[in-house]
């Protein structure tokens, strides 16, 4: 199953009662900007999901800069927006790909079966002249049942075990830009470098002008990695790892997980080694 939907595919489905479009626009460092953009204009019928209020939990000593949200909180958010387990969810951001992909991974973790990222994001939709408005949507509340899919989640303990034992059947993948991976510069976190044993596959390489690349291009991006491997993807805080998660699945990799705490969680433990 693909996690990607094209704007031309969404357009005829826009008014379906079985569809819910989810606006995930966000700006790191300016947390109100995404919601302000949503209030100004958005895809018709869309509801807003905030990266830090809805798709992440409260930052604590451990767990990273964008930890998992409280399950009851995200459940309430879904229910208050009229979303059931059968609703087809289509997420978009400004065209960066990372915030909508975070939504797709999170809902996959919650056990949702039909969730997609809009290829090209809001920029592509708007540039095509497709329907937008500024209406604040109110949907009838529903019931949502969480059925966690642990197959897409890698715990801190699992990553720790990997660094200690280096099993051949697991690949640890760092999605950050090369300078951060190599420890040359670190603009965000308190320590520089990467988790021992990780390979570097920069997340922006799976995108081009806001669109996910074609399947064959995604496959060539990961040619050095065996399809039979279990892949654990991380980044700085579990956001930009998400496009790599989707790209790997599109490329045909079966066993892909995200270490959601990522590097910011890893370095919160003083005794953890760094390369």
**Catalytic annotation, pick one of 22, 172, 218, 235:** 235
Token pair listed for 126: 């708007």
Q: What is the chain's Cα-based Rg? A: 18
24 as an active site residue: the answer is no
Contact present, 235 and 174 (Cβ < 8 Å) = yes
Measure Cα distances from 215 to 209, 221, 250 in Å. 16, 10, 6
Nearest to 233 by CA among 218, 249, 210, 217: 249
Measure Cα distances from 163 to 18, 48, 53, 170, 208 in Å. 44, 38, 32, 10, 33
Q: Output the DSSP codes for 222-255.
A: TTTS-TTSEEEEE-SSSSTHHHHHHHHHHTT-S-
Residues annotated as catalytic (active site), given as ranges: 235
């Amino acid at each position: 199953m693909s996690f990607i939907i094209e704007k031309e595919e969404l357009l005829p489905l826009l008014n379906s009662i079985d569809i819910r479009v989810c606006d995930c626009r966000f700006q790191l460092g300016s947390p109100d900007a995404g919601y302000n953009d949503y209030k100004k204009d958005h895809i018709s019928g869309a509801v807003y999901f905030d990266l830090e209020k809805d798709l992440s939990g409260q930052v604590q000593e451990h767990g990273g800069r964008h930890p998992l949200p409280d399950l009851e909180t995200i459940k309430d958010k879904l229910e208050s927006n009229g979303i059931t387990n059968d609703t087809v969810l289509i997420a978009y951001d400004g065209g960066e790909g990372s915030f909508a992909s975070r939504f797709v991974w999170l809902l996959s973790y919650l056990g949702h079966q039909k969730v997609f990222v809009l290829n090209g994001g809001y920029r592509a939709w708007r540039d095509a002249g497709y329907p937008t408005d500024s209406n604040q949507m109110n949907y009838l509340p529903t019931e949502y049942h969480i059925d966690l899919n642990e197959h897409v989640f890698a715990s801190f303990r699992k990553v720790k075990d990997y660094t200690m034992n280096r099993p051949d059947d697991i690949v640890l993948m760092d999605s950050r830009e090369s300078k951060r991976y190599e420890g040359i510069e670190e603009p965000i976190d308190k320590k520089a470098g990467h988790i021992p044993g990780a390979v570097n596959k920069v997340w922006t390489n799976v995108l081009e002008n806001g669109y996910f690349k074609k399947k064959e291009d995604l496959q060539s991006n990961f040619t050095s990695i065996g399809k039979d491997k279990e892949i654990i993807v991380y980044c700085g805080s579990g956001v930009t790892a998400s496009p790599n998660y989707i790209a790997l699945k599109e490329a045909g990799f079966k066993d892909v997980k995200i270490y959601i705490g990522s590097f910011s969680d890893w370095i919160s433990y003083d005794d953890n080694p760094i390369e």
